[in-house]
Amino acid sequence: MQEISLTDDRRSLVGEAFRSKSFSLGFLLTGAFIVAAVLSLVWTPYDATAISVAEKLRGPSAAHWLGTDHFGRDILSMIMVGARTSIAVAFVSVGIGIAAGVPLGLWAAARQGSLVDEIIMRANDLVFAFPALLIAILITAVFGPGAVNAIIAIGIFNIPVFARLARGAALTLWTREYIFAARVAGKGAVRISAEHILPNIMNLLIVQGTIQFSLGILADAALSYVGLGAQPPVPSWGRMLADAQTMISLAPHMALFPGAAIVLTVLGLNLMGDGLRDIFDPKLRRSR
């Protein structure tokens, strides 16, 4: 019997991470888009909002690597700036999910079986029962379209995900003997949750966070595709696709590149998530 522990290895996590092919590839892909997004703050090949109708619908060329759109804007520049919006929306909405969901889940777990637990979990189920995209559309109908409201709409649906995850993981931990030891040491539920539970579910949260991040990118793309995400002139991948749709027979490049950007970013994040899960999960690690 070899000694196994849940979350032991703190020493060489980074080294371990890059030994995972999934993680490395995912990191590379995601990293590329994050770099592009950051770079777009200071430099893009062209001004992403500069309209030049005369140069509209040009295919990829030396001047415009990924071609131009129906207003003659440079698609590469738009994708770079769009990366910024997408990543920001997804990141903040995951943040909302974690910030609200994790404490709720921990609270429910600490009071397992109580009314609080019941209410939190039923409310979670209820949110899950709502058709997410429809509610997002309703939310933007109420507050108007825009990146901030897209964040709120996506964030709301991240809350139950993290609440459930945190509760489930915390419940297992609450039966661990070190939690009993902490309780014997007189520590209250809040303290135990913060000191013992939270750090030990961090791995799970990171993995889920990565996955929700990628889902957030997809959700943002869907919302801005129906016109509810970031508003023009700020480019967004979803709206670029919506614009491209009417021209798909004329200028397929307008649809291909932003779509590929979405796929690669989401793929990168998912691969990273998978890699992280393998690294964090000692069961899998042993078998490798």
Partner 1 sequence: MTLLQIDNLSLSILGLNILSSVRFEVDRGEVVGVIGESGSGKSMTAMSVMQLLPHGTEVSGSIRLDGEELLSKSEREMCRVRGSDVGMVFQEPMTALNPVKTIGDQVAETVMIHKGVRRAEALAIARETLNRVGLPEERFPLTRYPHELSGGQRQRVVIAMAIALRPKLLIADEPTTALDVTTQAQILALLKKLVDEDGMGLILITHDLAVVADIADRIVIMKSGEVVEAGPAVQLFRAMQHPYSKALMAATGHHPVRKPPHVALDAVPVLEVSSVVREYALPRKTLFARPGAFRAVNNVSFKIHKGENVGLVGESGCGKSTLTRAILALEATQSGEIRVGGELVTTKSGASLAARRKMQVVFQDPFGSFNPRHKVRRLVTEPFYLMGRDAPTGAALEARIAESLENVGLSARDADKYIHEFSGGQRQRVAIARALITHPSLIVLDEAVSALDVSIRAQILDLLADLSDRLDLSYLFISHDLSVVRAITDRVMVMKAGQIVETGETEVVFSNPQHDYTRQLIAATPDLEAALKRREIAAA
Partner 2 sequence: MNRLMKLMTTAAILAAASAMTPAFAANTAITVGMVLEPPNLDPTSGAAAAIREVTYANIFQGLTRFDANGAIIPDLAKSWDISPDGLTYTFHLAKGVKFHDGSDFSADDVKFSLDRARAPDSTNAQKGLFADIASVDVADPLTVKVTLKKPNGSFLFNMAWGDAVILSPKSIATEATKPVGTGPFKFVNWVKGDHVELAKFDGYWGAPAKLDKVTFKFISDPSAAFAAVMAGDVDAFPMFPAAETLEQFKSDPRFQVIVGNTEGKTILAMNNGKKPFDNIKVREAVAHAINRKEIIDGAMFGYGTPIGTHFSPQNPDYVDLTGQSNYDPEKSKALLKEAGYPNGFTVSLKLPPPPYARKGGEIIAAELAKVGIKAEISNVEWAQWLEQVFKGKDYDMTIIAHVEPMDLDIYSRDNYYFNYKSDAYKKIMAELSSATEPAKRSELLKQAQKQIADDYVNAFLFQLPKTGVANAKIVGLWKNQPTPANDMSEVYWKD
Partner 3 sequence: MVPFLLKRLISLALSLLAASVVIFLVLQVVPGDPASYMLGMNAQPETVEALRQQMGLNEPLVWRYLTWIAGLAHGDFGISYTYKVPTAELISQRLWVSLPLAVYALVLSTLIALPVGIIAAAKRNTAADYGIMGVTQFGIAVPNFWFAMLLVLLFSITLRWFSAGGFPGWSAGFLPAMKALTLPAIALALPQASILARVTRSSLLDTLSEDYIRTARAKGLTRSQTLVRHAVRNAMIPVLTIIGLQFSFLLAGAIIIENVFYLPGLGRLVFQGITQRDLIVVQSVVMLLVFAVIVITFLVDIAYAVVDPRLRSRS
Give the interface with partner 2 as residue ranges (CB under 8 A): 49-51, 53, 56-57, 70-72, 141, 144-146, 227, 231-233, 245-250
Among 18, 65, 128, 178, binds partner 3 (CB under 8 A): 128
Under the criterion CB under 8 A, does residue 225 sit at the interface with partner 3? yes
**73 or 196, CB closer to partner 1?**
196
Instruction: Report the partner that residue 167 touches, choosing among partner 2, partner 3, partner 1, none (CB closer than 5 to 8 A by kind).
Output: none
Please name which of 208, 8, 213, 29 lies closest in space to residue 16, comparing C-alpha atoms.
8
Among 76, 89, 102, 266, binds partner 3 (CB under 8 A): 266
- The contact set with partner 1 (CB under 8 A) reads 1-10, 176-178, 180-187, 195-196, 199-200
Binds 266, which of partner 1, partner 3, partner 2, none (CB < 5 to 8 A, cut-off by type)?
Answer: partner 3
Question: From the list partner 3, partner 1, partner 2, none, which binds 250 (C-beta under 5 to 8 Å, kind-based)?
Answer: partner 2
Give the contacts of 114 (CB within 8 A, at least 6 positions apart): none
Query: Closest approach of Cβ 68 to partner 3, in Å?
Result: 19
Beta bridge partners of 68: 74
Binding range to partner 3, per CB under 8 A, among 78-86, 88-96, 174-182, 243-251: 243-251
In the complex, the smallest distance separating the C-beta of residue 243 from partner 1, rounded to whole angstroms, is: 49
Q: Is 94 in the site for partner 3 (CB under 8 A)?
A: no
Give whichever of 182 and 256 is closer to partner 3, judged by the CB atom.
Answer: 256
Site string for partner 3, 165-204 (x = CB under 8 A): ----------------------------------------
Least distance to partner 1, CB of residue 56, Å: 57
**Three-class SS of the chain:** CCCCCCCCCCCCHHHHHHHCHHHHHHHHHHHHHHHHHHHHHHCCCCCCCCCCHHHCCCCCCCCCCCCECCCCCEHHHHHHHHHHHHHHHHHHHHHHHHHHHHHHHHHHHHCCCCHHHHHHHHHHHHHHHCCHHHHHHHHHHHHCCCHHHHHHHHHHHHHHHHHHHHHHHHHHHHCCHHHHHHHHCCCCHHHHHHHHHHHHHHHHHHHHHHHHHHHHHHHHHHHHHCCCCCCCCCCCHHHHHHHHHCCCCCCHHHHHHHHHHHHHHHHHHHHHHHHHHHHHCHHHHHHC
User: Which tokens hold the place of 230?
Assistant: 């970031």
- Does residue 113 come out as left (phi exceeding 0), alpha (psi in the -120 to 50 range) or beta? left
Q: From the list partner 2, partner 1, partner 3, none, pick the one residue 181 interacts with, judged by a Cβ distance below 5 to 8 Å according to partner type.
A: partner 1
* Interface positions with partner 3 (CB under 8 A): 122, 125-126, 128-135, 137-138, 141-142, 214, 218, 221-222, 225-226, 238, 241, 244-245, 248-249, 252, 255, 259, 262-264, 266-267, 270-271, 274
